[in-house]
Amino acid sequence: MSSYVDEIIEQVIKQNPSEPEFHQAVREVLESIRVVIEANEEKFRRDALLERLVNPERQIKFRVPWIDDKGDVHVNTGYRVQFNSAIGPYKGGLRLHPSVNLGIIKFLGFEQIFKNSLTGLPIGGGKGGSDFDPKGKSDREVMRFCQAFMTELCKYIGADTDVPAGDIGTGGREIGYMFGQYKKIRGLFEGVLTGKGLTYGGSLARTEATGYGLLYIVEELFKSHGADIADKTVVVSGAGNVAIYAIQKAQQLGAKVVTCSDSTGWVYDPEGIDVAALKQIKEVDRARLTEYKKYRPNSEYHEGRGVWAVKCDIALPCATQNELDVEDAVLLVENGVTAVCEGANMPTTEKATKYLQDNGVWFIPGKAANAGGVATSALEMSQNSERLSWTFEEVDAKLKNIMVNLYHNIDDAAKKYGFEGNYVVGANIAGFEKVLDAMNAQGIV
């Protein structure tokens, strides 16, 4: 009989054609947990455990009609994939980007199951979004889209069932418009979304959490190897929520960040990225990185991609999936990189990941390294439930504690199964074990 893991990988590819990112995410997780599955193969087969793991509990796809400023009507597609609720209500962001399709949302939702488990908090896995492109839209157009999107989504979510948040293209502005529409239709002021504004139930430090959390785990990784991140050179991709606060925390910890990038080009600033300028350009003006040179005349702007060719000790991909391929990994290794830690979801291709690991680079996958965002979302849910708000210092201290524990949890899991230093295997096994236990306890549902 062939291996259960291999059969399921084959089945996922056959049953979900044209969803390469979903195949990639499933392959990475199932290959990592192969040792656990093979030790219990008969029982897991009888329970169809893996079939239940790789099939979302529910996937919702809907029409989103909205009217632009000229009065023309547009129709986008909305999605919410409620993947796994074994350990808590579905939790995960909403991506607004023209590249969004069902396969992208399924890959993100699948990753979210294990990430959320790793936080140690009671949240299940889900993800949603739309192929709507917020770029170049007026504020009123974004509002009308968000309202139309929520008019349908509100039927399926709630503070105790499914709690969406931000992701690419969805920040504080979009969450505000969606929250307003949810409240209007459902008549409920409840913690149905996280990443809310501070005046209506948001948590301090949620905006910073993913980037800060990434640096907390990088710091612990270095510490555990008897090293320090102070004075290290860091290369970051992206210029959005995750990248901005990763750069800020890296600088606070004494490292020097020399790059950032957006969807059209990248910046090299040998004196270190100016976070205030970056925030003005991206958060306030919603402009391109071409503007950066106006603030920092000694910096360079290049069209296209290229950050991975810059010599560094630490590389932090913080933009999007599959943005770091094997040619980039070769350059990073040639230039002596020590660590690659993923701020984005699945930014490193399978080949690049293998190359980095084979060459002794410390590699922490996104589901561990960027878990600080969703962890702090869960802290926002707690604050909403008790109708209190905690100080920035309190939330930040909890976030740091979660990331430090998470590092040791994945490090220990890797060691326990004979894969010391392989944080991909460690993260997938540690994330899976809790979900497995909860699924087993709850019967075949």
Binding site residues, ligand 2IT, CB under 6 A: 91-93, 115, 165, 167, 194, 345, 373-374, 377
Q: In 10 A of CB 74, how many CB atoms?
A: 15
Helices 20-32, 423-441: inter-axial angle, 10-degree rounding:
90
Sheet holding 162-165, edge to edge: 58-67, 73-84, 124-130, 90-96, 162-165
Calpha distance 424→155 (Å, rounded): 36
Residue ranges in 143-172 that form contacts with ligand NDP under rule CB under 6 A: 166-169, 171
Among the listed residues 103, 176, 191, 240, the single contact to ligand NDP using CB under 6 A:
240
92 binds, among ligand NDP, ligand 2IT, none (CB under 5 to 8 A by kind): ligand 2IT
Query: Active-site residue numbers?
Result: 127
Residue ranges in 300-339 that form contacts with ligand NDP under rule CB under 6 A: 318-320
- Confirm or reject binding of residue 89 to ligand NDP (CB under 6 A): no
**How far apart are CB 201 and ligand NDP at their closest, in Å?**
17
Among the listed residues 11, 16, 161, 263, the single contact to ligand NDP using CB under 6 A:
263
Calpha distance 144→244 (Å, rounded): 28
262 binds, among ligand 2IT, ligand NDP, none (CB under 5 to 8 A by kind): ligand NDP
CA nearest neighbour of 229 among 259, 260, 252, 209: 252
**How far apart are CB 366 and ligand NDP at their closest, in Å?**
6
Sheet holding 362-364, edge to edge: 300-303, 265-268, 256-261, 233-237, 314-317, 339-341, 362-364
442: left (phi over 0), alpha (psi -120 to 50) or beta: alpha
**How far apart are CB 128 and ligand 2IT at their closest, in Å?**
10
Judged by beta carbon, residue 92 or residue 238, the one nearer ligand 2IT is 92
194 binds, among ligand 2IT, ligand NDP, none (CB under 5 to 8 A by kind): ligand 2IT
91 binds, among ligand 2IT, ligand NDP, none (CB under 5 to 8 A by kind): ligand 2IT
Q: Which chain residues interact with ligand NDP by CB under 6 A?
A: 166-169, 171, 210, 238-243, 262-263, 318-320, 343-345, 370, 373
